[in-house]
Amino acid sequence: MRRFRFHLESVATLRAMRELRAREHLAAAIRACEQAEADLAEASGRRILLEHLLRTGRAFTLRAAEHVAFLAALRRACDDETAAQRRVAEARAGRDRRLTEYHEAVRDVKVLGNLRTRARAAHRLALERESQTALDERASIAAARAARLLS
């Protein structure tokens, strides 16, 4: 009786390592996306606060220099928010790309698992056939001996 040996074991090991690496990259991409979204929320909050201050500042007198400073700060806040939106879009695209890579890696691991299962079943069937052949030979030999003894 021979032992089962999966001939694609090294490939399966490499695919499992690739799947693990893809999972780690996906986790990093998800963290980057969450960070970018938090940065966007912060930038949006700053812009909203400056807009609110500018609106409420009109209720009382603002000097021209203060008004110009508020407008410059608001412009910077709007630019920061736009940049944060761009980073969020890039992070989401990266996350989606990493998710696709992870799904491909998982699929490859599953394919090799299915191949291993089929190979193991074929091996088990071959072993059962060998065992049955050995039993048939023993039965034939015993029947021949019994025939010689009776004759």
The tens digit of pLDDT for each residue in 63-109 reads 778 778 888 999 999 999 999 999 999 999 999 999 999 999 999 99
What total of structural domains would you count in the chain?
A: 1
pLDDT on residue 64 = 79
Is the predicted pLDDT of residue 40 greater than 90, yes or no? yes
Range of the domain at 104: 9-122
pTM to 2 decimals?
0.75
64 found inside a domain: yes
Q: What band does 47 get if pLDDT is binned at 50, 70 and 90?
A: very high
CA 57, CA 68: separation in Å to the nearest integer? Answer: 12
For residue 151, pLDDT over 80 is answered with no
> Exposure string (b/e) for 76-96, b if CB count within 10 Å is 16 or more?
ebeebbeebeebbeebeebbe
Question: Would residue 135 count as lying in a domain?
Answer: no
Secondary structure letter of residue 3 according to DSSP:
P
- Identify the residue with better confidence: 60 or 53: 53
Which pLDDT value is given to residue 148? 83
H or E, element range at 27:
helix 9-57
In a domain, 16, yes or no: yes
- For residue 85, what are its two tokens? 């939106």
Asked, for residue 84, whether it belongs to a domain, the answer is yes
Per the domain annotation, does 59 fall within a domain?
yes
Angstrom CA distances, 77 to 43, 70, 131, stand at: 7, 10, 79
Q: Does 144 fall in a domain?
A: no
What is the structure's pLDDT at 57?
Answer: 67
Query: Is there a domain that residue 3 lies in?
Result: no
Is 136 among the domain residues?
no
| CATH code, domain carrying 54 | 1.10.287
